[in-house]
Chains A and B, each alone.
Chain A
């Protein structure tokens, strides 16, 4: 399938446990780890696991959800731009929406939580709160959700269905999701060490929300980056494992090799801290883009789930703007290959970054972020 044209990235922003994009990037450069040990089921207790919660937020659900203030602050600069009208669509993505509210309802029998439990109830409430119009398309494909929003926004622009498009993604963790990953045994007492060759894999989970404003880049030039060469692949091999030969990673990256030819790259990988996926991902990225340094930031921020693609896009932009990319925080030698960068590095010698994410079902997504 042909790749869509590049869309101009007019603006981007994110929030994580370390603050906004500027604060998060600065903290990552200092090597700060946002993850802290919390009981896996919040007030109900359980094994302490590494979680990175947004400032002032508890893991247990509240009604209304206690993440609204953080989201409202994030999107406040977007107010008054006509988002959600006919030619300015919004693409909302998430893997969790407000599903933690259903756990709160079931475990505490508090009906107030039901108002946020289904994806559409949650999104309709959020859209009202932040003042967007009704032209909102909602996607959920686990941890590549945000990438789908970017691709659809790009296609809507390319087809002339939009003059500008807003992609917004949010995932705030709750006992619903921490309990699930803990049951899968990949969320455990260990801290994540992305791309590290060790005996036991571990992930951390983190709060994250982000936005990207895309346009066709015609006329007045706004924004200093483009998002291009967006690629997807779905292995459909196993729910929670990749094909052992790494073919899924390779298939997703193949279109980007041509698009990135001649560029001096760095790589922002998925890098959750699981062993098999980390080994396969780093091998595929290194094979496709030899010599390009590879970093992953989930060892500090935790995995921000369906929003990770957009959160990490905002941080990649900040890295390019400031000329310095954070290293693979939490990683411990030996690594899966020599290209994994543990320390921060200058982006001065590069002119683009490939950002990749993966998800349940062997879903893969990647794009090329470059200066406009």
Chain B
């Protein structure tokens, strides 16, 4: 069994808020001019990470099924004169990169994951495997428009960030990962489901990815 402890938890949900409103809400939290170029997901991820005060020796694990849906929509709509800005902003790890570039904050390890049914537990496993003294596990989605109509984007806008370490003292929650065999069927634990569990301070015990049982107990 692998074990880690949650020492900080930051959550935010923008529901159906438009990106412009989110940008206005966050403009004082980032260096002048930075928010103009940031996406809604970048702002939310940046806000949650900020509350955890990233350090130089942290590793960051980022999970998102759809990532930069609005930038992707804009980029696709820019054809045949493709937008260079929206192209670079639409890449999967962009939300975390927007934040850390705005802060000029280098890090050694950054693992951006994607997936669906097992994404939350897989991201947790990646965090557990990092040798960094502290791992910031963050994730989120932003609500799409025309991609959402095609079920190719999230219907919710939210973000979370957890600070994980091996130190139990003062922890908010204990997290365990226990190997499971192939005979134990895995059940879904999507990113929105994991976010809802964090928000409700709900403890979890489930084989949330093939071969891995997640235990999440609030202390």
Contact with B along A131-175 (1 / 0, CB 8 A): 001111111111000001000100110011100000000000001
Query: A residues within 8 A CB of B103?
Result: 236
Q: Decide yes or no whether B215 CB sits under 8 A from chain A.
A: no
Task: Name the contact of A103 in the complex, choosing from B59, B76, B88, B93 (C-beta under 8 A).
Answer: B76
Chain A, range 68-85, C-beta contacts under 8 Å to B: 84-85
Measured between alpha carbons, how far is A360 from B100 in the docked complex, in Å? 13
Residue contact A184 to B84, C-beta cutoff 8 Å: yes
Residue contact B97 to A360, C-beta cutoff 8 Å: yes
Query: Which size bracket describes the interface of B in this complex?
Result: 35 or more
B50 to chain A, nearest CB (A): 14
Q: Decide yes or no whether A237 CB sits under 8 A from chain B.
A: yes
Query: A residues within 8 A CB of B106?
Result: 233-237, 248, 251, 362
Chain B, range 27-60, C-beta contacts under 8 Å to A: 57, 59
With CB as the reference atom, state the residue of chain A lying closest to B89. A239
Q: Decide yes or no whether B110 CB sits under 8 A from chain A.
A: yes
Residue contact A237 to B97, C-beta cutoff 8 Å: no
Chain A, range 111-140, C-beta contacts under 8 Å to B: 111, 114, 117-121, 123-124, 133-140
Query: B residues within 8 A CB of A117?
Result: 150, 152
Chain A, range 213-260, C-beta contacts under 8 Å to B: 232-240, 248, 251
Residue contact A1 to B77, C-beta cutoff 8 Å: no
Q: Decide yes or no whether B19 CB sits under 8 A from chain A.
A: no
A85-B182, A235-B106, A237-B101 given as contacts; is B79 within 8 A of A41 (CB)? yes
Query: B residues within 8 A CB of A233?
Result: 106, 108
Query: B residues within 8 A CB of A183?
Result: 81-84, 87
Q: Decide yes or no whether A106 CB sits under 8 A from chain B.
A: yes
Query: A residues within 8 A CB of B152?
Result: 102, 114, 117-118, 121
Q: Decide yes or no whether B214 CB sits under 8 A from chain A.
A: no
Q: Which of A41, A87, A99, A118 has the largest number of chain B CB atoms within 10 A?
A: A118
A135-B210, A141-B92 given as contacts; is B97 within 8 A of A361 (CB)? yes
Task: Name the contact of A161 in the complex, choosing from B93, B104, B211 (C-beta under 8 A).
Answer: B211
Chain A, range 4-57, C-beta contacts under 8 Å to B: 4, 41, 44, 46
B24 to chain A, nearest CB (A): 23
Measured between alpha carbons, how far is A232 from B106 in the docked complex, in Å? 11
Number of chain A residues whose Cβ lies closer than 8 Å to a Cβ of chain B: 68
Residue contact B84 to A152, C-beta cutoff 8 Å: no
B76 to chain A, nearest CB (A): 5
A107-B79, A114-B152, A142-B93 given as contacts; is B72 within 8 A of A102 (CB)? yes
Contact with A along B125-148 (1 / 0, CB 8 A): 110111110000000000000010
Residue contact A1 to B108, C-beta cutoff 8 Å: yes
Q: Decide yes or no whether B113 CB sits under 8 A from chain A.
A: yes
Measured between alpha carbons, how far is A106 from B86 in the docked complex, in Å? 16
Residue contact B114 to A139, C-beta cutoff 8 Å: yes
With CB as the reference atom, state the residue of chain A lying closest to B207. A86
Residue contact B211 to A103, C-beta cutoff 8 Å: no
Residue contact B126 to A1, C-beta cutoff 8 Å: no
Residue contact B109 to A120, C-beta cutoff 8 Å: no
The 10 closest A-B CB pairs, nearest first, are A86-B211, A180-B87, A135-B210, A179-B82, A236-B100, A120-B116, A183-B84, A140-B92, A155-B129, A183-B82
Not counting A46-B80, A152-B126, a sample of 9 additional A-B residue pairs whose C-beta atoms are within 8 angstroms of each other reads: A1-B130, A41-B79, A95-B91, A120-B65, A120-B114, A138-B122, A141-B93, A161-B129, A240-B88
Which residues of B approach A to under 8 Å, CB–CB? 2, 57, 59, 65-66, 72, 75-77, 79-84, 87-89, 91-93, 97, 100-101, 103-116, 118, 122, 125-126, 128-132, 147, 150-152, 179-182, 186, 209-212
Which residues of A approach B to under 8 Å, CB–CB? 1-2, 4, 41, 44, 46, 84-87, 89, 95, 99, 102-103, 105-107, 111, 114, 117-121, 123-124, 133-142, 148, 152, 155-156, 159-161, 175-176, 179-185, 232-240, 248, 251, 360-363
List 13 A-B pairs, Cβ < 8 Å. A4-B131, A86-B179, A102-B76, A119-B115, A148-B111, A161-B211, A161-B212, A180-B88, A185-B84, A233-B106, A236-B97, A237-B104, A239-B89
